Every structure is written in structure tokens, then in C-alpha cells.
């Protein structure tokens, strides 16, 4: 056993560490270097889902119900499969409209109704009390086990109860890190970092105790099971029916659905997943990291539970404390303390986030609206309200924790941890129809949501909450058989409905009433203009992003708006807000007009501080609004969609223009290259002609000696010049589509053979061997014989230029491939580098080093390709460096049954 001082000291030290981490994260955030801006930390912070319920309760549940602890974690797994679809939309909506709590979310969706916000807040507060009590119960039970206080039977007064002080200490933590800024839509980085850290601590502590039981006290999981099989009641445990005869699959299903909804709708989950989301792209990775976390923290639950039963025997120890008692009674006191700290982090994480979330709702949706309405408050209006609002929030945190403590004192002993938690789960499940329905169905109305929520919550209270109080003896137990003897109203078998367990029963009735009223009353009446406009903003949040419609008509004075913003945001932030708006609008700050967009912006900013419903009320109070009509809403939507479609068109035209400009630029570059190459190529022969014709003494003598030879050179050079000019003209003509084509049936075999004969002299000069492999009996192709001759001459003379001397070899082949004839000319020269293969067909682009390449105008290949393309064929190069190059082209055979135009002209 441990001394209370040691346990308290360690707990306090741990809380101090949390303070340090939170303070560090807050400082980093202020410097703009967030430590929570990644998917890993984001997913860890979701681990706040695992509370004392998971940590202590799961083992207890497993010891009595086998695998029945699992649906609470399988539900989130299924919910996470849809996180990218549903959660991302929640995040997008909340961040666009600066929504900071579930109450805000629902109220905002149904026309920013303050009444709806208040109802949601009340349900949350009442619904969360059992959950908060659960945490306090777990801390105190754990403390009792460690200090062997259990079973003394002496109930200490509340002033001696350590749990009370734990509650106070946690309130202090939540107040310090949860209420730093008034604007809730600014994230609580410190709090999130601390919570993520706590998730890590509780996981490691739980894995440590699991490893200790499995491999320290037993010889692996199989050994635990082998020893458990000697106890028949344990063997029966690991069946779906727990040995009770039949599998109550309705309850299994209900628990999965409940957990699936809770993981999105619990106030603390909404806080860490939606409000504290830094970047919605993190959802994608966190959505699978979080189930991994849940799987890890659950993997040792059964081994610990069964191991504990084997070691202690059933009925000796409370299985909910196995994680502590097993190490404690088997000589691992230090481990027990570590595990206790792990449990403490599960508790503190939950309590801090939950109270911050709930206090935001209480402040924004219960207290502030009441304050804003009261006359006394109105008299002292003006002045900065931020301080007051923060204090309200602080008081709310304290109150919620103390109410939780009260519930723990009242009803804490009657239920197991898991059962208490399920009561809260069933409460938040009531939000599902209004919230999820509101995200996907535009027809939902305020009346429907209000009636559904109220009805569902009342049924929940009647069938689940009140029985929990009754079972602990605070209400006469006869209540469970129906009040005043009315058995039809018996809370756990309403209208005589039996055959369901109490949880499924409650969930069934409350959901039936909730969904029935929500859908029924929504259908009974058309949505009001404001409801309809909010419905559009929520359901179409992805579409309305580009040009957001602003549903507001009326007049406001700039001074009033400034005043209002100053009161809720503080003078400094209000100033910044107006400057920013002026900049976005492109006007000077003094020239701002109080138009709909500005009013909307101010309202949104205030909403971040006091909630959407209160913000609406405040804006209404300073501006003269025209009531929205359905026609207004339609007009505004129409305008917005027009703006959107203009924007889209503009974007399209811009991108087309940009593409065209790029193309023009590259063509221009090509033209410049072409010009400079042509002039260079023209100058070379000109220079040599001019040099030979120069009336210079030295040359004169030379000319006298070898006049015939000099004239020969001049002639050759001017021929080259003429050929080049012809080529340029030729290419220009083909490219411009002005060339004349004398297309007729030609025998390609004959043409290739002719070309080989014509170039035989070239190859003989180089001593190269030419091998022709021409397939016989080929059908004729449609082509221009002169042009084709030109192509062949080009390819052959090109090959002749590159073959090595001596030992050159050129293979020419003609064959039929599919519906075309392919001619290839392969040399055994040095080949073409892959990088250069792309450019050999470009004009005047000669491949290779300038020094060792043979002289050429470089127009042969581009012209050849243009010709082949124009005849509907294609030309390509296959080459590997060192392996020679193979230029080939393919001409299509004319289709059966008719001659058609050559198809090449449509090519660029």
C-alpha cells in the first residue's frame, strides 16, 4: 500500500507537468510556431474520447461481459470511415461561420435561434453531469485502492474528500488554459497540446500494465486463456451471449450506433475535432490514426480482465480496479502508481476539454442572452464586455465541475462506470437528427429541431436519467414500476414495451420521438426565409465558398457597428477588423460603407466570442433590418450563383489566355532560333564565295594558278546556298499548307529501290555497306512520289553522314505492319542520346557536339516529317547511344472501298 502523501504528491507533480506543457504550447502558438499543427497531434487529441471509462471501466465491463466492452470502440471505427465525408463538412461549416460549440452549430443552422441554443445547452449540461461524475468516481476509487482506503465503510465528509479537491484543481487548470481568449474560434493550443500529451501517457501506462500482466504474471495471452479455461464461468464469458442463452444483437447494434454518434457529438469531441482543427486536411490522416489508437488501448483489456479474474478469483476484487490492484498485489507498486497517473490523465483530459466546451455553451447560449436582455445590464451598456464574458465562462467551468461532483455524491455508487457513461452517450445522441439532418437536408426547420430535441431529451430523462437516480435511492424505487401506479409509463418498459434492455429501450423511444417530431414538424411548414438562407449556407457549404451569399437587407450606421465590435472584441481587434475589411473592399478605412457584407463580417466576428445566436441579437439591436422574405433569399442566392458563374467563366478565359500566351511565347522563341540558324547557315557559303572572289593580290595569284578549281568551289557553294533557300521556302510552304501535292498510287518498293540507286555513290564514297530488305507484293499507297523521294533521299543521306568510316553499314527495310507500310533506315553510327531524341525533328537543331558533327542545314528531317505527316503517316526515331540510329516512317494504306483526302492536315 502507498502513503496518501506519495499518491497526492505524484498526482500534483503530474498536473504541474501538464501546466508546463500547456504553457509551452501557448507560447509557441503566440510565436506562430504551432506544435499542434500536424495530423499526429490532432489524432492524439481525439484520444480524449478514452476517459476513465475506457481506462478502468472497460476492464470491469470485460470481466463481467467479455467482448461487450468493444462496441464503444467499434462505433468510432465506423464513424471514422466517414470522417472525411461528415467531419470535414462540420469543420468547414464551423470555421466558415465561426461556430464554436454544438449548441451554436444547431442554433445557427435553424436561423440562429437563441431558444434552440439554450435548449441544446441545457441538454448538454444535464447530459454531461453523469459523465463528469464518472471521472470523479474513478479518480477517487483509484485513490482508495492505492492507499487501501477501500472498504473502511466510513464515509468522510465532503470537506475531507480528496475528490472534491481534485475537482477544484482541475477547474483551475481548465480556467487558466480554457479561457485565455474570449474568441472561442481562436484555438486553445496549450489545452490541445496538454490533452494530446495525456493521450500518450494513458496509452503507454495502459500498455505497460497490460504487458506486465500478460508477460510478467503469465506466459503470454494464450497462457492466460489456458488457465482461465479451468473456470467455466470465464469460458462462457467470451461468447456473444455471455452464457445467457441468446445474443441480444439489438443492444450490440444500439451501442455501436451510440458510440458512432458520440464520437462526433460529445462536447469535448466537437471541441478537439472541430473547433481546435488547425487544417481540415489533417482529418484524412487522423481518421485512421485515431482507430489505431483505440485498438492499441483496447488490446490488453481482455488479458487484464481475465488475468485478474484468474489471479483473484471472481467476486473478490472490483474488476474496475484491476489495472491498479493486479500490479499492486503482485509486487509492482511503482507500476501501480504509474497506472494511476495514466488514469488521472484520462480523467483530467476529459474534464478539462469537456468543461471548457460546456462552459462556452453556458456562457454564450444561456447567460449572455439573458444578460443582454436584462434592463439593468442595458443601462450600463457601452464599455468593453470581454472581461465580463470571460468571467462568466470561468464561473461556468467551476459550476459544471461542482454539479458533476454533486451527481457523483448522489448517484455515483449505484452504477458501474460504463453504465454511467452510456447515460451521457444517449443524451448527446439526441443532437444527431437536428445536427446531421441539418447538414444534408434543407427542409429541416427550427420548430422541428426544437420539438425533436426537447421530446427526445424528455424521453431520455424519463427512461434513463431518472431511473439512475431512483436506483440510487434518492427517488422512491417504486418509480421504476411507473409513477402513481401507472404501469404504462414505467420508465424502463414504456407502454409495456419489453424485450429490450434499458439502454436500447431508452435509445429506441427517444430516437423515435426525436426523429418523428423533427421530420414531422419540419414537413408540416415551409422553412422561414432565415431558416432557408441558413440551410443553404450549411448544406451547400462547399459550393457557396467561392461567392458567399450574404442574407441581410437593411441599414446600419458605421459608428454603431464600430461600437458593437469594440464591446465584444476589444478596441484593438475591432480596429483591426475594420481595417482588414476596408483593405478587402479596396477602400480607405474612413470611406467604409456599412453594407450587408460589413454587417455580416462584424456579426461573424462577434459570433466567435458570444455565439451566433447572441451575435444575431446584438446586430439586430444596432441595425435597422428589413425582414427577409423568401423572395429576398431567392434573389440573393441568384445573385451569388451569377457571381459564381461569372467567376468561373473568368477563370476559364484567363486560363485559356494564359495558355495561348505561353504558346505564342514559345513560337516566338522558335522563330528567333530559326532566323538566327538560317542566317548563320546562309552566311557560311556566302563568306567563302566572297573570300574567293576578293580582288586581293595574294588571291589574284592563286586565282591565276587554279581558276578552274576556284570557280568550281564558288559554283558548289552557291548551289548549297540555293538548296538551302529552297528548303526554307519548301518547309514554309508545307507548314503553311500551301504546298502542291500530286498524290497518286505509288509502289513504295520501287521508290525505295530508286532512292537507293540514286544514293549509292554517297555510300560508296564512305565505303559503307547498304543492305536492303524490301518485302515484295505490297499494295500501293497514296502519296506524292517526288515528295516521298525527297524523304528517302533525306533519310539516306542523313545515314550516310553518320556511319563510321570504315565499317559503315546501313539497313533499309520496307514491310507491312497492320494497316500501314513502314520504311526504316538504320545506321551503325554513334546514335542519338535519349535527351536529344526529342529535338532531332526541330528545325535547325543539329544533334551532338558542334565540333564533330557533319555540316548540314538541319532542315532535312523536319521537312521529311512534315511530308510524312501531311500524307497521314508518322515518322519517328529509335536509338540508343552507341547502337546507331533508326529513322522510320509509316504510311497508311488507303482504307478499303474508296480514296479519301490525306488526313495529315489536321495535325498541328
| Residue found by looking up cell 482529418 in the block | 283
Is 222 a residue that touches other proteins (CB under 8 A)? yes
Supply the minimum distance, in Å, between the C-beta of residue 886 and other proteins.
12
Other Cβ atoms less than 10 A from the Cβ of 627: the count is 10
Supply the minimum distance, in Å, between the C-beta of residue 234 and other proteins.
10
Restricted to residues 756-815, the positions that interact with other proteins (CB under 8 A) are: none
Supply the minimum distance, in Å, between the C-beta of residue 75 and other proteins.
9
Q: How far is CA 74 from each of CA 350, 404, 436, 529, rounded to the nearest angstrom?
A: 20, 28, 20, 41
Nearer to other proteins, 291 or 412 (CB): 291
DSSP state of 899: -
Q: Element (H or E) spanning 820, and its range?
A: strand 820-827
Supply the minimum distance, in Å, between the C-beta of residue 504 and other proteins.
13
Whole-angstrom distance, CA of residue 663 vs CA of residue 660: 5
Using CB under 8 A, which of 524, 630, 657, 838 touches other proteins?
A: 838
Nearer to other proteins, 287 or 464 (CB): 287
User: What are 709's three cell numbers?
Assistant: 578549281
What is the pattern of x (binds other proteins, CB under 8 A) and - over residues 680-699? --------------------
> How many residues form the binding site for other proteins (CB under 8 A)?
42
Restricted to residues 866-885, the positions that interact with other proteins (CB under 8 A) are: 874, 876-878
Using CB under 8 A, which of 20, 148, 295, 370 touches other proteins?
A: 295
Question: HSE on the CB side for 821, CA within 13 Å?
Answer: 25
DSSP string computed for 341-364: HHHHHHHHHHHHHHHHHHHHHIII
Using CB under 8 A, which of 19, 24, 288, 508 touches other proteins?
A: 288
Nearer to other proteins, 6 or 226 (CB): 226
Supply the minimum distance, in Å, between the C-beta of residue 741 and other proteins.
22
User: What are 831's three cell numbers?
Assistant: 546514335
Nearer to other proteins, 220 or 854 (CB): 220
Coil/strand/helix, residue 371:
helix
CB 238 within 8 A of CB 66: yes
Is 285 a residue that touches other proteins (CB under 8 A)? yes
Burial of 659 (0-12, 13-18, 19+ CB in 10 A): exposed
Supply the minimum distance, in Å, between the C-beta of residue 399 and other proteins.
39
Is 253 a residue that touches other proteins (CB under 8 A)? yes
Whole-angstrom distance, CA of residue 767 vs CA of residue 758: 16
Is 80 a residue that touches other proteins (CB under 8 A)? yes
Nearer to other proteins, 1 or 226 (CB): 226
Using CB under 8 A, which of 23, 78, 115, 204 touches other proteins?
A: 78
DSSP state of 231: S
Nearer to other proteins, 257 or 752 (CB): 257
Coil/strand/helix, residue 500:
coil
Is 256 a residue that touches other proteins (CB under 8 A)? yes
Q: Element (H or E) spanning 888, and its range?
A: strand 885-892
Is 545 a residue that touches other proteins (CB under 8 A)? no
Using CB under 8 A, which of 99, 302, 594, 825 touches other proteins?
A: 302
Nearer to other proteins, 253 or 474 (CB): 253
Distance separating the N- and C-terminal Cα atoms of the chain = 88
Length of the chain: 908
Whole-angstrom distance, CA of residue 515 vs CA of residue 180: 38
Supply the minimum distance, in Å, between the C-beta of residue 280 and other proteins.
13
User: What are 612's three cell numbers?
Assistant: 451566433
Measure the CA angle with vertex 169, ends 16 and 386; round to 5°: 100
Using CB under 8 A, which of 225, 405, 509, 552 touches other proteins?
A: 225
Q: How far is CA 245 from the centre of its chain?
A: 45
Whole-angstrom distance, CA of residue 286 vs CA of residue 280: 10
Whole-angstrom distance, CA of residue 534 vs CA of residue 547: 15
Question: Residue 806: is the preceding peptide bond cis (ω within 30°)?
Answer: yes
For residue 253, what are the contacts with CB-CB under 8 A and spacing of at least 6? none
For residue 195, what are the contacts with CB-CB under 8 A and spacing of at least 6? 44, 45, 47, 48, 272, 349, 352, 353
Using CB under 8 A, which of 82, 334, 653, 729 touches other proteins?
A: 82
Coil/strand/helix, residue 811:
strand
Backbone angles phi and psi of 877, in degrees to 5: -130, 130
Is 240 a residue that touches other proteins (CB under 8 A)? yes
Supply the minimum distance, in Å, between the C-beta of residue 62 and other proteins.
9
Q: Provide the Cα torsion 509, 514, 519, 523; round to 10°.
A: 110
Supply the minimum distance, in Å, between the C-beta of residue 288 and other proteins.
4
Nearer to other proteins, 212 or 300 (CB): 300
Using CB under 8 A, which of 64, 147, 149, 235 touches other proteins?
A: 235
Nearer to other proteins, 500 or 770 (CB): 500
Q: Interface with other proteins by CB under 8 A: which range of 216-224, 330-338, 727-735, 744-752?
A: 216-224
Supply the minimum distance, in Å, between the C-beta of residue 663 and other proteins.
15
Coil/strand/helix, residue 70:
coil
Is 249 a residue that touches other proteins (CB under 8 A)? yes
Supply the minimum distance, in Å, between the C-beta of residue 840 and other proteins.
9
Is 299 a residue that touches other proteins (CB under 8 A)? yes
Using CB under 8 A, which of 168, 226, 693, 715 touches other proteins?
A: 226
DSSP string computed for 181-198: -S-TTS--HHHHHHHHHH
Whole-angstrom distance, CA of residue 134 vs CA of residue 130: 6
Nearer to other proteins, 269 or 837 (CB): 837
Is 837 a residue that touches other proteins (CB under 8 A)? yes
Nearer to other proteins, 140 or 298 (CB): 298
Whole-angstrom distance, CA of residue 847 vs CA of residue 834: 11
DSSP string computed for 621-671: HHSEEPPP-HHHHHHHHHHHHHHHHHHHHHHHHHHHHHHHHHHHHHHHHHH
Supply the minimum distance, in Å, between the C-beta of residue 499 and other proteins.
15
Restricted to residues 561-590, the positions that interact with other proteins (CB under 8 A) are: none
Is 670 a residue that touches other proteins (CB under 8 A)? no
Is 287 a residue that touches other proteins (CB under 8 A)? yes
Supply the minimum distance, in Å, between the C-beta of residue 114 and other proteins.
35
Using CB under 8 A, which of 284, 525, 583, 716 touches other proteins?
A: 284
Nearer to other proteins, 19 or 288 (CB): 288
User: What are 905's three cell numbers?
Assistant: 492536315
Supply the minimum distance, in Å, between the C-beta of residue 905 and other proteins.
16
Q: Interface with other proteins by CB under 8 A: which range of 26-34, 78-86, 395-403, 464-472?
A: 78-86
Nearer to other proteins, 111 or 291 (CB): 291
Whole-angstrom distance, CA of residue 171 vs CA of residue 348: 10
Q: Interface with other proteins by CB under 8 A: which range of 71-79, 121-129, 141-149, 546-554?
A: 71-79
Nearer to other proteins, 170 or 305 (CB): 305
CB 902 within 8 A of CB 743: yes
Q: Which residues bind other proteins (CB under 8 A)?
A: 66-67, 70, 73-74, 77-78, 80-82, 84-85, 221-223, 225-226, 235, 238-241, 247, 249, 252-253, 256, 284-285, 287-288, 291-292, 295, 299, 302, 837-838, 874, 876-878
Amino acid at each position: 500500500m502507498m502513503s496518501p502523501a506519495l499518491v497526492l504528491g505524484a498526482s500534483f507533480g503530474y498536473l504541474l507537468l501538464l501546466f508546463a506543457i500547456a504553457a509551452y504550447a501557448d507560447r509557441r502558438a503566440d510565436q506562430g510556431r504551432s506544435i499542434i499543427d500536424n495530423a499526429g497531434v490532432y489524432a492524439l487529441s481525439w484520444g480524449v474520447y478514452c476517459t476513465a471509462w475506457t481506462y478502468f471501466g472497460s476492464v470491469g465491463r470485460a470481466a463481467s461481459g467479455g467482448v461487450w466492452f468493444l462496441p464503444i470502440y467499434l462505433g468510432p471505427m465506423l464513424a471514422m470511415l466517414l470522417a472525411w465525408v461528415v467531419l470535414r463538412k462540420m469543420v468547414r461549416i464551423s470555421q466558415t461561420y465561426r461556430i464554436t460549440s454544438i449548441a451554436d452549430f444547431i442554433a445557427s443552422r435553424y436561423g440562429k435561434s437563441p431558444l434552440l441554443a439554450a435548449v441544446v445547452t441545457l441538454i448538454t449540461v444535464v447530459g454531461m453531469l453523469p459523465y463528469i461524475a464518472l471521472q470523479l468516481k474513478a479518480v477517487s476509487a483509484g485513490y482508495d485502492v492505492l492507499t487501501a482506503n477501500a472498504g473502511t465503510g466510513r464515509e468522510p465528509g465532503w470537506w475531507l474528500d480528496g475528490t472534491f479537491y481534485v475537482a477544484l484543481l482541475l477547474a483551475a487548470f481548465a480556467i487558466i488554459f480554457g479561457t485565455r481568449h474570449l474568441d472561442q474560434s481562436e484555438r486553445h493550443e496549450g489545452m490541445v497540446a496538454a490533452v494530446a500529451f495525456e493521450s500518450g501517457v494513458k496509452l503507454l501506462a495502459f500498455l505497460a500494465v497490460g504487458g506486465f500482466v500478460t508477460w510478467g504474471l503469465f506466459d503470454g495471452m494464450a497462457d492466460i486463456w489456458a488457465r482461465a479455461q479451468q473456470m467455466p464461468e470465464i469460458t462462457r464469458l467470451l461468447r456473444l451471449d455471455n452464457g445467457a442463452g441468446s445474443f441480444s444483437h439489438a443492444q450490440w447494434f444500439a451501442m455501436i450506433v451510440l458510440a458512432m454518434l458520440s464520437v462526433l457529438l460529445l462536447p469535448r469531441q466537437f471541441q478537439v475535432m472541430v473547433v481546435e482543427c488547425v487544417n481540415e486536411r489533417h482529418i484524412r490522416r487522423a481518421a485512421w490514426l485515431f482507430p489505431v489508437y483505440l485498438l492499441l488501448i483496447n488490446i490488453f483489456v481482455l488479458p487484464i480482465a481475465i488475468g485478474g479474474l484468474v489471479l483473484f478469483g471472481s467476486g473478490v476484487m472490483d474488476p474496475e480496479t484491476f489495472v491498479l490492484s493486479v500490479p499492486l498485489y503482485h509486487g509492482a507498486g511503482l507500476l501501480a502508481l504509474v497506472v494511476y497517473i495514466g488514469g488521472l490523465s484520462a480523467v483530467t483530459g476529459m474534464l478539462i476539454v469537456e468543461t471548457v466546451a460546456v462552459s462556452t455553451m453556458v456562457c454564450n447560449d444561456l447567460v449572455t442572452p439573458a444578460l443582454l436582455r436584462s434592463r439593468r445590464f442595458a443601462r450600463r451598456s457601452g464599455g468593453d464586455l470581454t472581461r465580463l464574458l470571460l468571467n462568466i465562462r470561468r464561473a461556468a467551468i467551476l459550476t459544471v465541475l461542482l454539479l458533476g461532483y454533486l451527481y457523483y455524491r448522489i448517484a455515483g455508487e449505484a452504477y458501474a462506470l460504463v453504465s454511467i457513461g452510456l447515460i451521457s452517450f444517449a443524451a448527446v445522441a439526441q443532437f444527431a437528427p437536428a445536427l446531421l439532418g441539418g447538414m444534408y437536408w434543407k427542409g429541416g426547420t427550427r420548430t422541428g429541431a426544437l420539438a425533436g430535441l426537447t421530446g427526445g431529451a424528455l424521453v431520455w430523462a424519463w427512461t434513463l436519467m431518472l431511473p439512475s437516480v431512483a436506483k440510487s435511492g434518492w427517488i422512491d424505487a417504486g418509480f421504476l414500476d411507473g409513477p402513481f401506479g401507472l404501469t404504462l409509463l414505467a420508465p424502463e418498459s414504456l407502454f409495456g414495451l419489453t424485450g429490450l434492455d434499458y439502454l436500447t429501450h431508452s435509445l429506441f423511444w427517444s430516437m423515435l420521438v426525436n426523429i418523428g417530431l423533427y421530420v414531422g414538424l419540419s414537413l408540416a411548414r415551409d422553412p422561414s426565409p432565415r431558416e432557408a438562407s441558413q440551410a443553404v449556407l450549411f448544406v451547400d457549404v462547399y459550393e457557396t465558398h467561392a461567392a458567399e451569399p450574404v442574407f441581410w437587407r437593411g441599414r446600419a450606421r458605421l459608428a454603431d457597428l464600430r461600437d458593437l465590435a469594440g464591446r465584444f472584441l476589444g478596441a484593438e481587434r475591432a480596429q483591426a477588423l475594420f481595417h482588414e475589411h476596408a483593405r478587402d473592399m479596396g477602400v480607405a478605412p474612413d470611406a467604409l460603407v456599412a453594407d450587408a457584407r460589413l454587417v455580416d463580417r462584424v456579426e461573424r466576428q462577434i459570433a466567435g466570442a458570444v455565439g451566433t445566436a447572441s451575435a444575431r441579437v446584438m446586430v439586430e439591436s444596432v441595425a435597422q433590418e428589413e425582414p427577409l422574405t423568401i423572395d429576398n433569399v431567392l434573389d440573393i442566392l441568384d445573385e451569388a450563383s451569377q457571381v459564381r458563374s461569372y467567376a468561373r467563366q473568368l477563370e476559364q478565359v484567363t486560363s485559356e489566355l494564359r495558355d495561348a500566351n505561353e504558346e505564342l511565347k514559345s513560337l516566338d522563341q522558335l522563330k528567333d532560333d530559326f532566323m538566327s540558324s538560317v542566317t548563320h547557315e546562309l552566311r557560311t557559303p556566302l563568306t567563302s564565295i566572297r573570300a574567293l572572289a576578293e580582288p586581293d593580290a595574294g588571291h589574284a595569284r592563286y586565282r591565276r594558278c587554279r581558276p578552274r578549281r576556284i570557280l568550281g568551289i564558288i559554283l558548289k557553294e552557291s548551289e548549297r546556298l540555293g538548296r538551302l533557300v529552297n528548303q526554307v521556302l519548301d518547309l514554309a510552304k508545307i507548314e503553311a499548307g500551301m504546298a502542291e501535292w500530286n498524290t497518286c498510287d505509288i509502289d513504295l518498293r520501287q521508290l525505295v529501290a530508286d532512292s537507293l540507286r540514286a544514293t549509292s555513290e554517297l555510300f560508296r564514297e564512305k565505303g559503307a555497306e547498304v543492305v536492303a530488305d524490301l518485302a515484295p507484293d505490297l499494295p500501293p499507297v497514296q502519296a506524292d512520289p517526288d515528295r516521298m523521294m525527297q524523304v528517302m533521299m533525306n533519310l539516306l543521306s542523313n545515314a550516310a553522314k553518320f556511319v563510321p568510316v570504315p565499317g559503315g553499314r546501313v539497313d533499309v527495310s520496307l514491310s507491312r505492319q497492320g494497316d500501314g507500310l513502314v520504311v526504316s533506315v538504320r545506321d551503325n553510327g554513334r546514335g542519338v542520346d535519349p535527351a536529344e531524341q526529342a529535338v532531332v525533328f526541330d528545325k535547325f537543331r543539329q544533334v551532338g557536339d558542334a565540333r564533330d558533327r557533319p555540316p548540314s542545314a538541319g532542315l532535312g528531317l523536319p521537312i521529311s516529317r512534315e511530308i510524312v505527316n501531311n500524307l497521314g503517316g508518322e515518322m519517328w526515331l529509335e536509338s540508343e547511344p552507341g547502337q546507331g540510329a533508326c529513322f522510320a516512317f509509316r504510311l497508311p494504306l488507303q482504307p478499303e472501298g474508296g480514296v479519301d483526302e490525306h488526313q495529315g492536315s489536321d495535325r498541328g
